[in-house]
Amino acid sequence: MSTENGNTRPGWRDGLRESATFDRATIHEIQRAAREGIYDIRGGGAKRHVPSFDDLLLLGASVSRYPLEGYRERCDTDVVLGDRHAKKPLELDIPVTIAGMSFGALSAPAKEALGRGASEMGTSTTTGDGGMTPEERGHSETLVYQLLPSRYGMNPDDLRRADAIEVVVGQGAKPGGGGMLLGQKISDRVAEMRDLPTGIDQRSACRHPDWTGPDDLEIKIEELREITDWEKPIFVKVGATRPYYDVALAVKAGADVVVLDGMQGGTAATQEVFIEHVGIPTLAAIPPAVQALIELGVHRKVQLVVSGGIRNGADVAKALALGADAVSIGVAALVAIGDNAPELDDEYAKIGSASGFYDDWHEGRDPAGIFTQDDDLAARFDAELGGRRLANYLRTVVLETQTLARACGKSRVQNLEPEDLVALTVEAAAMARVPLAGTNWIPGTEAR
């Protein structure tokens, strides 16, 4: 091992030069494809760098804008989701929810931890592909139930037990995704829950079986409301592709809440090419979505929940400033409860990975006991501890959001607005539709 300019990669020798086009990761992937004859599958969201909230900054207090004192002057964080039609909208204490993640991808104790942490902080969790488990309903005070193309485990009792229903049109990691997930095997418990043979390759449908298009979605939503006597809010979740049109159509189809998931949003498993090359960044998706809501006269009446790479209070504050009513977290919640823990580095090494890098979630061998159906591995995961850790993390995120909001003079976090933001790069300025820092210029519009 040699060093040059601090480069200490194994096998490195002075004078070797890496290609940007055929970098080591690309070469490795081509070699793997040549060996295996099938696409690479992994979990998580887009890994490559895209314009994001990191390219935005909040303008704090100044001579013309006065901040609020932390701790003594209120900065409210509560939010109501779904009061457009439902008899019982969701009333959450914080504007951060836990996104849909499937039991089957996650272990039962992992789902329990998410429920515990969310309930402690007065927010909701969401079921995923595979349906509602008793553990999740038992531990989650507010539970959103997904209606997915697969319809695994779908039943009217769970619809009635849910606090809200989320019709999933798509998700950010794989908008339009479906097809075979070759090599992703189904375990016994999951097979039983989903009425599938064990040990076979997983397939997923990309369209719903009984409706296609917003005109027919409208009728489907009507059915869901009828089955649940119009009690529950109906969410519609879309992956970020054409957000202006998708949000407008979701509203016209009758959605009470729209959930918008950018390309950084995670998945348990899908083809790598899908994750990295389909869908648009979360940052780019929000302004068109908000514009659609404003033009239809329903901004803040049909709530917008944004997900896809939300990591900290700064991301939350910026998403709210752009017009979201709340955000949803997936990967961050899993890291909080214990995914990719550094204590497990040796274990990750045994399965060809390292803590902070592990994304072969579909293989079900997660030493943290989160992405697994193996009873022994799952038993390692302490759900109560995980729940506390999630609550700690959520508390931190919300305090951060409040800190930033107060600095901008807001007594309520949803009062953050686009005028509180500036951008560091031309791309981010154009996507977020806020000026480049220190200028009046929003690329694509006339400078004033």
Partner 1 sequence: MSGAAPDSTAAPSRALDLSQLSVRELNAALHEAEDGRWEVLDPVGKHAIAAGLDAELEVEIAGNVGYYCAGMNKRATVRVKGNCGVGVAENIMSGKVAIEGDASQAAGASGHGGLLVIEGNAAARCGISLKGADIVVRGSIGHMSAFMAQRGRIVVCGDAGAALGDSIYEARIYVRGEVAGLGADCVAKEMRPEHLEELAELLAEAGIEDAQPSEFSRYGSARRLYNFNVDDAGEY
Partner 2 sequence: MGSRLDACHADAAMCGIVGIYAKSDACERHLGAHAAAMLVEMADRGPDSAGVAIYRDPAPEGHSKLCLQSADSAGWDDAVTAIDTGIGVVEARRVGERHALVETPVGAEEARDWVERELPDVAIDSAGRIIEIYKDAISPAEFVSRFSLAEMSGTHALGHTRMATESRVTPAGSHPFSTGLDLCLVHNGSLSNHNRLRDELRREGIGFRTRNDSEVAAAYLTWRLRQGATLEGALEGCLEDLDGFYTFAVGTAEGFAVLRDPISCKPAVMAECDDWVAIASEYRALATLPGAADAEVWEPEPGVVYSWGTVAVA
Q: 258 has which bridge partners?
A: 236, 304
Residues that bind partner 1 (CB under 8 A): 36-38, 150-152, 154-157, 159, 179-180, 182-183, 194-197, 199-201, 203, 205, 209-211, 216, 219-220, 222-223, 226-230
Binding partner of 77, given partner 1, partner 2, none, CB within 5-8 angstroms per partner class: none
Residue 170 or residue 262: which is nearer to partner 1 going by CB? Answer: 170
Residues 182 and 274 sit within 8 Å (Cβ to Cβ): no
Residue 148 or residue 335: which is nearer to partner 1 going by CB? Answer: 148
Binding partner of 444, given partner 1, partner 2, none, CB within 5-8 angstroms per partner class: partner 2
Residue 17 or residue 35: which is nearer to partner 1 going by CB? Answer: 35
Residue 12 or residue 230: which is nearer to partner 1 going by CB? Answer: 230
With CB under 8 A as the contact rule, which of the stretches 86-94, 122-130, 216-224, 412-420 interacts with partner 2? Answer: 216-224
Instruction: Tell me how far apart the alpha carbons of residues 117 and 10 are, in angstroms, rounded to a whole number.
Output: 41
Binding partner of 242, given partner 2, partner 1, none, CB within 5-8 angstroms per partner class: partner 2
- From candidates 218, 231, 345, 382, binder to partner 2 by CB under 8 A: 218
Instruction: Tell me how far apart the alpha carbons of residues 139 and 349 are, in angstroms, rounded to a whole number.
Output: 33
Instruction: Tell me how far apart the alpha carbons of residues 166 and 145 are, in angstroms, rounded to a whole number.
Output: 6
How many other CB atoms sit within 10 Å of the CB of residue 199? 10
Binding partner of 188, given partner 1, partner 2, none, CB within 5-8 angstroms per partner class: none
- From candidates 75, 98, 249, 304, binder to partner 2 by CB under 8 A: 249
Binding partner of 187, given partner 1, partner 2, none, CB within 5-8 angstroms per partner class: none
SS3 for 283? helix
Give the residue among 267, 134, 113 at the shortest CA–CA distance from 189. 134
- Tell me if 215 contacts partner 2 by CB under 8 A: yes
Residue 154 or residue 296: which is nearer to partner 2 going by CB? Answer: 296
- Number of chain positions touching partner 2 (CB under 8 A): 22
With CB under 8 A as the contact rule, which of the stretches 39-47, 104-112, 116-124, 240-248 interacts with partner 2? Answer: 240-248
Cβ neighbours for 133, distance < 8 A, ≥ 6 positions apart: 103, 108, 111, 127, 193
Q: Residue type at 41?
A: I
Residues 146 and 127 sit within 8 Å (Cβ to Cβ): yes
Q: Whole-number minimum distance, CB 52 to partner 2, in Å?
A: 21
Q: Is residue 412 exposed (0-12), middle (13-18) or buried (19+ Cβ within 10 Å)?
A: middle
- From candidates 155, 198, 439, 445, binder to partner 2 by CB under 8 A: 445
Binding partner of 213, given partner 2, partner 1, none, CB within 5-8 angstroms per partner class: partner 2
How many other CB atoms sit within 10 Å of the CB of residue 204? 18
Q: Whole-number minimum distance, CB 199 to partner 1, in Å?
A: 8
- Tell me if 36 contacts partner 2 by CB under 8 A: no
The CA angle 75-81-84, to the nearest 5 degrees, is 125
- In 124-200, DSSP assigns E strands to 124-126, 142-147, 164-168, 179-185
- Tell me if 335 contacts partner 2 by CB under 8 A: no
Question: How many Cα atoms sit within 13 Å of 191 on the Cβ side?
Answer: 12
